[in-house]
Amino acid sequence: MVVTVLGISGSPHRHGNTETLLDSFLDGARSAGASVEKVVLKDLSYSPCRGCNACHKTGECVVKDDAISLFDKILAMDCIAIASPIYTMGITAELKGLIDRGQYLWARKFILKTLYFSDEHIRRHKGLFISTAGQNWDHVLTGHFPQSPRSSMAPVLSTTTISSQTIWTSTRESKTTRPP
Amino acid sequence: MTIKVLAFAGSPRRHGNSETLLDWVLASMAEDPDISIEKVPLTEANINICRGCNACETLNKCIQRDGMDIYHDKIIEADCILLSSPIYCMGIAALPKALIDRAQVFRSRKYVLKLPIVPPERKGKRLGAFLASAGQDWKYVFDAAVPSVKCFYHVIDIRDADISYLMINHVDEKGAIEKHPTAKADAMKLGKTMIAELKKRLAT
């Protein structure tokens, strides 16, 4: 079975550092036999979440635009790599705008309890965050993924040591069951 | 002498919890006759997202012509700049993040071109405050928003020590903040404290 990989580039800047890193990851995935697709958020048209909370009751977003078709794709893929440069100590407004629009899926999962996945799906489903930052501060890449003090941190690789080999090693180590 | 207050209401939901918090601060400030207040809901501000082109590093201005043309000047003129945002998905909402990213022109001016943001006589006299609300009751729910907010204030020449924070967690539905035991009193007190401090600074 072919593993499907979706790369989402959240940079407004085409072919910059972050997208180059994402491309390298996708090339690696392709050469390992995956079916790969890349989406550039800059080319899509979607508005930010309105915070209306209508989805808490309906499980549907009242705004119909490119974000919804992208979330359909996200749900269908095995591996999702999201990429964003760090702008002012956080992800870009493009990517934050998309993430916030996922609120209807949050509502389905945690309020309406209509969204759930099989164990098989969860084992196969992998997430990866790819980023670059201009600053050389150690904490520039950690501010935007707050973690509960009790949860174990996902493997973090600094930009200075990143390579496709270490990405794969770390994602494998982070789960007890590997994808086939 | 009039103290100029510029307040950005960052929530896509009008008159929700974070905006109410902002309104309380503004109401306590407005009790003073020497204050002029301008409140800007970002839903109506027409601020596009930063394109990451870095042209501002050489041009000293942004290549985009939109609402930011107006707010760029107002940010420089204001003595006090307030920003409110709800926390969405553990971070600042996309609208205020767009405003913060567009402040890149100030960052280029300050750190690349080494030019002043405000005239020397106003330096160190400005204050900022970040007002936020979050549905989650986790204490660390605001942690990821704060570094971006600090960047925003630093590049517009408001020092770390001159930024105040009032961040209320565990308020989700519209109006929930009204029932919070201390939010209103804290917001009113913050407004009064900031105005007193601004008067002291601007008198010297």
HSE at residue B119, side-chain half, CA atoms within 13 A, is: 6
What is the helix (H) or strand (E) element at residue A5, kind and residue range?
Answer: strand A4-9
Tell me the pTM. Answer: 0.88
Predicted confidence at residue A138, as pLDDT, reads 72
Task: Say which of B12, B138, B143 has its CB closest to residue A51.
Answer: B12
How far is the alpha carbon of A63 from chain B, nearest alpha carbon, in Å?
Answer: 13
Give the structural domain span for A65: 4-171
A176 inside domain: no
**Which residues, 6 or more positions from B175, have their beta carbon under 8 angstroms from its beta carbon?**
B17, B20
Give the total number of structural domains in chain A.
1
Asked if B121 has any chain A CB less than 8 Å from its own CB, the reply is no
Question: Is A103 close to B98, i.e. CB distance below 8 A?
Answer: no
A108 to A5, A54, A103, A135, B72: CA distances (angstroms): 24, 12, 9, 38, 40
| d(C-alpha B26, C-alpha B38), whole Å | 9
What are the tokens at B115? 């030019």
Whether residue B43 contacts residue B112, with contact meaning beta carbons closer than 8 Å, is answered with no
Whether residue A52 contacts residue B16, with contact meaning beta carbons closer than 8 Å, is answered with no
How far is the alpha carbon of A33 from chain B, nearest alpha carbon, in Å?
Answer: 33
Predicted confidence at residue B196, as pLDDT, reads 97
Predicted confidence at residue A163, as pLDDT, reads 33
Predicted confidence at residue A161, as pLDDT, reads 37
* pLDDT tens digits along A113-147: 999 988 988 887 889 999 998 888 777 776 655 54
What are the tokens at B73? 């000047």
CATH number for the domain harbouring residue A85? 3.40.50.360
Predicted confidence at residue A123, as pLDDT, reads 84
Query: Across the strands, what pairs with A126?
Result: A79
What is the helix (H) or strand (E) element at residue B7, kind and residue range?
Answer: strand B3-9
A179 inside domain: no
DSSP A87: B
A180 inside domain: no
Predicted confidence at residue A120, as pLDDT, reads 87
Question: Is B103 close to A146, i.e. CB distance below 8 A?
Answer: no
Question: Is A50 close to B143, i.e. CB distance below 8 A?
Answer: no
* pLDDT tens digits along B92-127: 999 999 999 999 999 999 999 999 999 999 999 999
| d(C-alpha A59, C-alpha A54), whole Å | 8
How far is the alpha carbon of A32 from chain B, nearest alpha carbon, in Å?
Answer: 32
A27 inside domain: yes
**Which residues, 6 or more positions from B204, have their beta carbon under 8 angstroms from its beta carbon?**
none
User: Among positive and negative, which fits the CA dihedral A132, A134, A137, A140?
Assistant: negative
Question: What ipTM did this prediction achieve?
Answer: 0.89
**Which residues, 6 or more positions from A84, have their beta carbon under 8 angstroms from its beta carbon?**
A10, A11, A18, A91, A92, A94, A95, A131
Tell me the pLDDT of chain B (204 aa) as tens digits. Answer: 899 999 999 999 999 999 999 999 999 999 999 999 999 999 999 999 999 999 999 999 999 999 999 999 999 999 999 999 999 999 999 999 999 999 999 999 999 999 999 999 999 999 999 999 999 999 899 999 999 999 999 999 999 999 999 999 999 888 999 999 999 999 999 999 999 999 999 998
What are the tokens at B19? 């905006």
Question: Is B94 close to A13, i.e. CB distance below 8 A?
Answer: no
A47 inside domain: yes
Neighbouring C-beta atoms of residue B161, cutoff 10 Å: 8
**Which residues, 6 or more positions from A55, have their beta carbon under 8 angstroms from its beta carbon?**
A61, A62, A103, A104, A107, A108
Predicted confidence at residue B133, as pLDDT, reads 97
| d(C-alpha B101, C-alpha B88), whole Å | 17
Give the structural domain span for B191: 3-203
Could you give the angle at the alpha carbon of B146 between the alpha carbons of B143 and B151, nearest 5°? 145
Tell me the pLDDT of chain A (180 aa) as tens digits. Answer: 899 999 999 999 999 999 999 999 999 999 999 999 999 999 999 999 999 999 999 999 999 999 999 999 999 999 999 999 999 999 999 999 999 999 999 999 999 999 998 898 888 788 999 999 888 877 777 665 554 444 444 455 544 433 332 233 233 333 333 333
- Given the structure tokens 């002012």, which residue do they identify? A88
Give the total number of structural domains in chain B.
1
CATH number for the domain harbouring residue B188? 3.40.50.360
- Residues of B within 8 A of A12 (CB-CB) are 49-52
DSSP B84: E
